[in-house]
Chains A and B, each alone.
Chain A
Amino acid sequence: MFQGFPEIKEALMSNKMQAAFMVAPMAIALRAQGVPVKIVYLGHRYGSAVVVRKDGPVHSVSDLRGRIMAIPSRFSDERLIVFRALAANGMNAKKDLRMVEMAPPDVAGALAAKAIDAFSMGEPYPSQAEIGGFGRVLFHAREYWPDYISCVLVVRQDVIDRRPEAVQVLVDGIARSGMWLDEKDRAKRHRLHAADFVGRFYYHQDPKLLRWALTNPIDRVKYEPLSPRRSDFETIVNLMVQTGVLDHAIPFEEFVDTRFAEGAHAMTAWKYEAGDDRAK
């Protein structure tokens, strides 16, 4: 587990890590810089929000003018959604707002301490600010960006070339987990269970936080569809060029390999309920 995206980028480039979940624009920028990696799948859809102080003066997007907002990285969808939301309200994020990069685990504390006026971040940090009673969601990403993407699964090209079967196993597992989390009639039960074991054994966070993020409401974060779609990524590339973090548009095929998502199409949800020995 890492605490920030720059460290993940370094670990991937040095082959300490062979695959990584990272924000989509960072993966695209890496590829544009010639780093041999490809996006093979998505981590989720939605699950990002702009949060302001609960008792603060910001009640609408236009109130963000002149404020300080934390984002996870210059190369993040959380930054792009701010540009998009401000543009929809006749503003320009470059001129009307001061954005500062901050490690995701630090933003809720910074908001509580009034070091920042707002943050744009993925879950569970918006939930943390809400539960803590000091933050209020100004808007969720879905309000300005249908089918919004944040984290994607990136794999080193040498691993794709030499061990495609291992990459397929990884993608199949993520696909099955996504279907399990979004399974009709059982989604809430599965999400509550996931919040418990992910909170305790992977994120080392209070499961109460993940329970809130995964069920309040149930589609706050979605895990289907996770196949990388050309139109979604063209939107991201165009926004990156417009906002000055990418010199020129690069073609979809150059940074996405769709074969593993296609290979996972026939997958079904894990058969697993709380108390079972293992998933099938």
Chain B
Amino acid sequence: MRKLIVAIGVWIVAITAAHSMLNVNWQVLMNDRLPEADRKLNVAYIPVT
């Protein structure tokens, strides 16, 4: 039982770490927390001229 709980815990930590590295844009999140005057503007574009 204990082995199972440890395995599930390791799995959750690994998936969370992978998700936060691959899917979360930390630059954008950090930028949104800065005071307005220091924030970079978010500029939207599509891959077309």
Contacts and interface: CB of A to CB of B under 8 A. Distances in A.
B49 A150 contact: yes
B43 A170 contact: yes
B5 to A, nearest CB: 40
B38 to A, nearest CB: 10
Contact of B41 (A5, A18, A122): A18
Interface in A1-57: 1-5, 8, 11-12, 16-22, 43-44, 47-48
**Interface size bracket, B side:** 10 to 19
A238 interface: no
Chain A interface mostly helix, strand, loop or mixed?
mixed
Nearest to A16: B42
Chain B interface mostly helix, strand, loop or mixed?
loop
Contacts of A203: 47
Contacts of B34: none
B48 to A, nearest CB: 4
A19 B48 contact: no
A121 B48 contact: yes
Given A151-B49, A221-B49, A166 B41 contact: yes
Given A17-B43, A162-B36, 17 more contacts: A2-B46, A4-B46, A16-B42, A17-B42, A19-B44, A20-B43, A21-B43, A21-B46, A43-B49, A104-B47, A105-B47, A122-B48, A124-B49, A150-B49, A159-B41, A163-B37, A204-B47
A123 B47 contact: no
A213 interface: yes
A97 B22 CA distance: 45
